Chains A and B, each alone.
Chain A
């Protein structure tokens, strides 16, 4: 299947700092990428939908000024957690929809584990 690379795989940062997470589709183009957050023993929660060249659409309750999303090209979307706090510690996962394929299959990155001290 198609490959989505997510970097970094884990990060530890101090409270108040910002962290950027990259999501790349390696062998296909993706006009739409999705960002999820997952807490322990819970399902994935959709945070936002990122469309190339336009503003992201955020889910209700997700602060757009805290979770900055940029989708500047057909193969790259970034999520920046600004002024991170311990409650932002979570597993963040991106996915990309293959526009060249059929039936809207989405492929997921391996996830980024964020720990805010």
Chain B
């Protein structure tokens, strides 16, 4: 089963793009990449997912490398409310890694 590696923390200035990387070098061909975030003391919130192609929705964009060994979640215009722990998951059984704590600063 694939595992993920994410930086433990990142800072981003309000209004700027936040780019959160995730390594998943052991991902198998049929495993999707999912991104969730957890704001303090709440349940995780689904953000976006993808298989091979880049994806975009109202919340974020997901860029997946051609070899699928890594991906980047992009929040195009970060706001203070985007401060949260962001999780990249590639396992169908939804086991969470440590995630990246994103802090958006004024």
Contact = CB atoms under 8 A, between A and B. Distances in A.
A1 B49 CA distance: 13
Given A43-B98, A46-B93, A95-B43, 20 more contacts: A1-B46, A34-B93, A43-B85, A43-B99, A46-B95, A46-B96, A49-B93, A95-B44, A103-B32, A105-B34, A105-B46, A105-B49, A106-B34, A106-B94, A108-B43, A108-B46, A110-B42, A110-B43, A111-B43, A113-B41
A43 B43 contact: no
Q: How large is the interface on B (under 10, 10 to 19, 20 to 34, 35 or more residues)?
A: 20 to 34
Contacts of A46: 93-96
B45 interface: yes
Nearest to B85: A43
A105 B38 CA distance: 16
B7 interface: no
Q: Is the interface of A mostly helix, strand, loop or mixed?
A: strand
Nearest to B101: A41
A107 interface: yes
Contacts of B92: 104
Nearest to B50: A103
Interface residues of A, number: 23
B97 A93 contact: no
Contacts of B95: 46
21 contacts: A1-B46, A4-B43, A6-B43, A34-B94, A43-B97, A44-B44, A46-B94, A46-B96, A91-B41, A95-B44, A103-B51, A104-B32, A105-B34, A105-B49, A107-B46, A108-B36, A108-B44, A109-B43, A110-B42, A111-B41, A113-B41
A35 to B, nearest CB: 11
A111 B45 CA distance: 12
Contacts of B43: 4, 6, 93, 95, 108-111
Interface string A41-74: 0011110010000000000000000000000000
